[in-house]
Chains A and B, each alone.
Chain A
Amino acid sequence: MSRTRWIGLGAWSLGLAPGLLLLIRLLGDQLGANPVEELTHESGRWALRLLLASLAVTPLRQQLGLAWLAPLRRTLGLLGFGYAALHLAVYAVLDQGLAWEFVLEDLSERPYIAAGFMSFVLLLPLAITSTRGWIRRLGRRWTRLHQLVYAAATAAVVHFVWLVKADLREPLAYASVLTALLAFRVLRAARKKLSVGTASA
């Protein structure tokens, strides 16, 4: 097996491990006094962590010159989307018991739910167009489209900040990671423009 294959396999296994652990804890009644809440929180956090990890791949690859990191971006992104879908399913089925009038009320009246929903809606087309076929079909537009992942991550962080009652440490830690990743992109783009400008002068 090639190195890329091994890395892909490793990433999938590591990424699926938290879900497997949740399942084991669920089956063993080890999710604490409020299992639905624990499932919601764990799935939400892993969605966000994997999304941010996916966003960190390109900067790491560029800075370290490790080209083989590249495929991880898609793997981690898809895993993140998977946890987001699980998170949404737990919310709709277990937390709300599929009571649509309450779900709709949440969506329309609770900004933090709306932000989470927005994040999910932004991730959906990215997950769908993550295949080779779509990448080929969309060409350059694919890159533009997939920049939406920054909007999705931002909406997810806002979602987290808004739902906390008093202790902001954790959501702000995620916010600082996202800010750093965004800053890296912006600075790099700016530097590129600058060097292009000087070269043509």
Chain B
Amino acid sequence: MLIRSRRAHDIATAEITPESTYLRRREILATALTGVATLAFGGARDARGATTPKPPELGPIIESPYSASEEPTSYDSVTQYNNFYEFGTAKEDPAVQAASFQPKPWSVLLKGRLKKPGSVPLETFLEGHALEERIYRFRCVETWSMVVPWVGIPLGDILKRFEPDEDAKFVEFRTLYDPERMPGQKRQTLEWPYREGLRMDEAMHPLTILAVGLYGRELPNQNGAPLRLIVPWKYGFKSIKSITEIRLRTRAPQTTWSEMAPNEYGFFANVNPEVDHPRWSQKRERRLGDFLRRPTSKFNGYADEVASLYAGMDLSKDY
């Protein structure tokens, strides 16, 4: 497979390189060649299916009434088609670039408006909670979707242990910032570290979980090991990966994508076929594994559970 994905670029360079020595004198053409070389090498897509061994299985997992009854997307698609810019911007990059990432040991820093702040080792952070399987629809803002059997714990249950105070109105999350371990952070594609946030009622909602696994196993690195957020009624970019910091705040935090393009990505980012992305339609989506698109449901099909959180709000303004 490695060989296959290099093919095209080889042809392009082979045609051009022999002339390069002569052309160096011609400044304009030299610039063109630099561009061609960037296309050939810089734009090269990494090999798909660099199959890393599956992570270890997780201990006892209980089923949940919140699980969807839909057929989960294949393990391969879930783990080889990822948006995780910390490990490259092409969909197949994270599976390759995160292969050697070491998520352990890991700790989570809790701070802000809570009575028990501090840095907590991951094991302690999760201690005493039962692991639940949550089969959720997952809808990306780019109009693809999947169904993932996550394994996790309701975020609200965990937060309560650390005793948020009355002024805690929002939760801010941050991804690890470590360019040596997350090579994508060496370039300023986004403002690192990745930051996301929820309103307190969204964070405490029983559908919102912190996931530590999928398909009964620990989270693969490319899916946000060892700890990520899952908010199934929001576009995928809200579900921040590899969380190292959780901060309770009185005011809404800045979030990475809404900071980068405020007219395209809002704080709420609820899945909504009635509000298009400025550059593309959100009315339909392609479920990975399907050929044709299907209609997108408001709140990703979780309207019964969550629509009341947004009663009275104009979702075309608070997108």
> Do B43 and A169 touch across chains, with their CB atoms under 8 A apart?
yes
Over the window 277-310 of chain B, the binary record of Cβ atoms lying under 8 Å from chain A Cβ atoms (1 yes, 0 no) is: 0011101101011011100000000000000000
B22 cross-chain contacts in A, Cβ below 8 A: 64
Interface-side segment among B73-81, B96-104, B110-118, B170-178 = B73-81
Residue from A34, A60, A183 within 8 A of B144 (CB atoms): A34
- The minimal Cβ–Cβ distance linking A41 to chain B, given in whole angstroms, is 9
If over half of A's interface residues share one DSSP class (helix, strand or loop), that class is named, otherwise mixed; here it is helix
> Do B280 and A33 touch across chains, with their CB atoms under 8 A apart?
no
Chain B interface bracket (under 10, 10 to 19, 20 to 34, 35 or more): 35 or more
Within 8 A of B (CB), among A147-201: 162-163, 165-167, 169-170, 173-174, 176-177, 180-181, 183-184, 187
Residue from B35, B92, B283 within 8 A of A173 (CB atoms): B35
A86 interface residue, CB < 8 Å from B?
A: no
- The minimal Cβ–Cβ distance linking B108 to chain A, given in whole angstroms, is 27
Over the window 8-33 of chain B, the binary record of Cβ atoms lying under 8 Å from chain A Cβ atoms (1 yes, 0 no) is: 10011001000100110010110110
> Do A33 and B4 touch across chains, with their CB atoms under 8 A apart?
no
Using known A-B contacts A30-B4, A49-B12, A94-B291, determine if residue A166 contacts B85 with beta carbons closer than 8 Å.
yes
Using known A-B contacts A21-B8, A32-B80, A165-B142, determine if residue A170 contacts B39 with beta carbons closer than 8 Å.
yes
Over the window 83-123 of chain A, the binary record of Cβ atoms lying under 8 Å from chain B Cβ atoms (1 yes, 0 no) is: 00000000000111100001001100111100000000000
- The minimal Cβ–Cβ distance linking A190 to chain B, given in whole angstroms, is 13
A54 to B83, alpha carbons, bound, how many Å?
34
B85 cross-chain contacts in A, Cβ below 8 A: 166-167
> Do A169 and B31 touch across chains, with their CB atoms under 8 A apart?
no
B64 interface residue, CB < 8 Å from A?
A: no
Within 8 A of B (CB), among A27-57: 30, 32-37, 42, 46, 49, 53, 56
- The minimal Cβ–Cβ distance linking B236 to chain A, given in whole angstroms, is 12
Residue from B276, B279, B293 within 8 A of A97 (CB atoms): B293
Chain A residue with Cβ nearest B82: A33
> Do B279 and A162 touch across chains, with their CB atoms under 8 A apart?
yes
> Do B286 and A33 touch across chains, with their CB atoms under 8 A apart?
no
Using known A-B contacts A14-B11, A169-B43, A183-B28, determine if residue A33 contacts B288 with beta carbons closer than 8 Å.
yes
- The minimal Cβ–Cβ distance linking B31 to chain A, given in whole angstroms, is 5
Chain A residue with Cβ nearest B79: A33
B52 interface residue, CB < 8 Å from A?
A: no
B189 interface residue, CB < 8 Å from A?
A: yes
- The minimal Cβ–Cβ distance linking A55 to chain B, given in whole angstroms, is 10
Chain B residue with Cβ nearest A105: B281
> Do A177 and B36 touch across chains, with their CB atoms under 8 A apart?
yes
- The minimal Cβ–Cβ distance linking B51 to chain A, given in whole angstroms, is 14
A63 interface residue, CB < 8 Å from B?
A: yes
Using known A-B contacts A111-B279, A180-B28, determine if residue A36 contacts B284 with beta carbons closer than 8 Å.
no
Chain B residue with Cβ nearest A22: B8
B43 cross-chain contacts in A, Cβ below 8 A: 169-170, 173
Residue from B39, B89, B279, B291 within 8 A of A177 (CB atoms): B39
> Do A63 and B35 touch across chains, with their CB atoms under 8 A apart?
no
A170 to B31, alpha carbons, bound, how many Å?
15
B317 cross-chain contacts in A, Cβ below 8 A: none
Using known A-B contacts A34-B288, A97-B293, A173-B39, determine if residue A166 contacts B190 with beta carbons closer than 8 Å.
yes
- The minimal Cβ–Cβ distance linking A64 to chain B, given in whole angstroms, is 7
A184 to B36, alpha carbons, bound, how many Å?
16
A136 interface residue, CB < 8 Å from B?
A: no
A63 to B26, alpha carbons, bound, how many Å?
9
10 contacts between A and B (CB under 8 A): A33-B289, A34-B81, A56-B32, A60-B29, A173-B35, A173-B39, A173-B42, A176-B32, A176-B38, A180-B32
Interchain residue pairs A-B with the least CB separation, the first 4 = A33-B81, A180-B32, A33-B77, A167-B89
Binding site for B on A (CB under 8 A): 14, 17-18, 21, 25, 30, 32-37, 42, 46, 49, 53, 56, 59-60, 63-64, 94-97, 102, 105-106, 109-112, 162-163, 165-167, 169-170, 173-174, 176-177, 180-181, 183-184, 187
Q: A18-B8, A176-B35 are known; give 13 further A-B pairs, CB within 8 A.
A: A33-B77, A34-B286, A36-B291, A42-B8, A63-B23, A105-B281, A110-B281, A111-B279, A166-B85, A166-B189, A177-B39, A180-B35, A184-B29
